[in-house]
């Protein structure tokens, strides 16, 4: 059970195993996308059809029809990765062995919908994947295996997403083999250490220039590619994709562009300065700062988000 790109490597890896048989792939219904709003399949549906696996797309997985369909398959396991629907206790009880969830954090840290972005926003040094036995409460089940990966100051949410997707593919195969060979015993989470993260909204991308430069860089990385880190310049919204911190002293208030040069666009922050390296122009294209300045003249000092 999965929907976005993140879920595809695990599906492909499981399908490649000689000792597993995927009887069904469950994903969200096709959604309208693009300017024409034509119905488009999820990445998981596209991958499943290429693999020749049956696909089921219920509006509600907890319906009686869906439950009967799942019962008829007599599955040993469910593997759930960013599916997008909450499973009822009745559904979770169907597999003979375990319903297993793949979660993009080192639980119990960052239960919820945006663990990748949270790990970057909080400037964590490491994140990872957890496989767990699914429970009724969100991301609260017993842990089976974990795998960690470092986070660099340059990693965006897309970078970590792609890396964790690949890690999850290996980890779910290792997890199922470990369970079948009686080498894995589910371990309860320490619920007192649990933290929760919400689903992101577009407004979460707005840059707060009063923060220190390191925090703003982390925010830009966490919001890339979605919802995108943005700010306002004069009467237009500017999306920022890449920046770096600078020790250059500035006597300007936070959000003031005080210098533009070959390095980039220098902005004062609550502590230190930031150099914008890549941003979006009027055309909607991602541009290097020098290319942006060729078509968007800036005469410092000029303030982002003027009051």
Same domain? 147 vs 249: no
Residue 17 belongs to domain with CATH number: 3.40.50.170
Same domain? 142 vs 160: yes
Model confidence at 162: pLDDT above 80: yes
Same domain? 90 vs 181: yes
Same domain? 35 vs 167: yes
Q: What is the pLDDT of residue 63?
A: 96
Q: What is the pLDDT of residue 248?
A: 82
Domain final position from 146, 173, 197:
197
Model confidence at 47: pLDDT above 90: yes
Q: What is the pLDDT of residue 284?
A: 84
Per-residue pLDDT of 171-213, as tens digits, reads 999 999 999 999 999 999 999 999 999 999 999 999 999 999 9
Mean pLDDT of the chain: 95
Model confidence at 272: pLDDT above 90: yes
Query: How many CA atoms are closer than 13 Å to the CA of 247, on its beta-carbon side?
Result: 0
Q: What percentage of the chain exceeds 70 in pLDDT?
A: 99
Range 125-132 average pLDDT: 98
Per-residue pLDDT of 71-94, as tens digits, reads 999 999 999 999 999 999 999 999
Same domain? 206 vs 193: no
Per-residue confidence band for 283, with pLDDT thresholds at 50, 70 and 90: confident
Domain assignment of residue 211, given as a range: 202-303
Same domain? 84 vs 223: no
Same domain? 216 vs 291: yes
Tell me the C-alpha distance between 248 and 273, whole Å: 6
Range 128-157 average pLDDT: 97
The domain tally of the chain equals 2
Q: What is the pLDDT of residue 138?
A: 93
Domain final position from 138, 168, 197:
197
Domain final position from 154, 176, 197:
197
Q: What percentage of the chain exceeds 90 in pLDDT?
A: 91
Per-residue pLDDT of 215-266, as tens digits, reads 999 999 999 999 999 999 988 899 999 999 998 888 899 999 999 999 999 9
Q: What backbone phi and psi angles, to 5 degrees, belong to 271?
A: -150, 120
pTM of this prediction? 0.94
Model confidence at 307: pLDDT above 60: no
Same domain? 178 vs 254: no
């Amino acid at each position: 059970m999965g929907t976005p790109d993140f879920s595809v490597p695990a599906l492909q890896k499981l399908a490649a195993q000689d000792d597993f048989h995927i009887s069904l792939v469950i994903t969200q219904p096709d959604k309208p996308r693009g300017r024409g709003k034509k119905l488009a399949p999820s990445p998981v549906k596209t991958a499943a059809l290429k693999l020749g696996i049956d696909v089921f797309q219920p509006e509600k997985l907890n319906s009686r029809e869906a439950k009967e369909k799942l019962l008829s398959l007599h599955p040993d396991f469910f593997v759930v990765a960013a599916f997008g629907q909450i499973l009822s206790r009745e559904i979770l009880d169907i597999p003979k062995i375990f319903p297993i969830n793949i979660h993009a954090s080192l639980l119990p840290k960052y239960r919820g919908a945006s663990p990748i972005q949270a790990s970057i926003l909080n400037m964590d040094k490491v994140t990872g994947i957890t496989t767990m036995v699914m429970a009724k409460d969100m991301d609260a089940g017993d842990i089976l295996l974990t795998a960690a990966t470092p986070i660099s100051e340059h990693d965006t949410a897309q970078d970590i997403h792609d890396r964790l997707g690949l890690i999850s593919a290996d980890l779910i195969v290792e997890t199922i083999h470990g369970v079948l060979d009686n080498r894995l015993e589910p371990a309860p989470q320490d619920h007192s250490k649990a933290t929760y993260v919400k689903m992101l909204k577009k407004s979460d991308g707005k840059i707060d220039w009063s923060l220190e430069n390191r925090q703003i860089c982390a925010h830009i990385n966490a919001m890339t590619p979605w919802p995108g880190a943005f700010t306002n310049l004069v009467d237009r919204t500017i999306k920022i994709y890449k920046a770096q911190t600078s020790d250059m002293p500035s006597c300007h208030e936070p959000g003031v562009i005080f210098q533009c040069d070959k390095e980039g666009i220098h902005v004062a922050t609550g502590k230190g300065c930031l150099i914008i390296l890549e941003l979006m122009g009027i055309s909607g294209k991602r541009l290097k700062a020098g290319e942006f300045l060729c078509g968007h003249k800036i005469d410092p000092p000029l303030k982002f988000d003027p009051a």
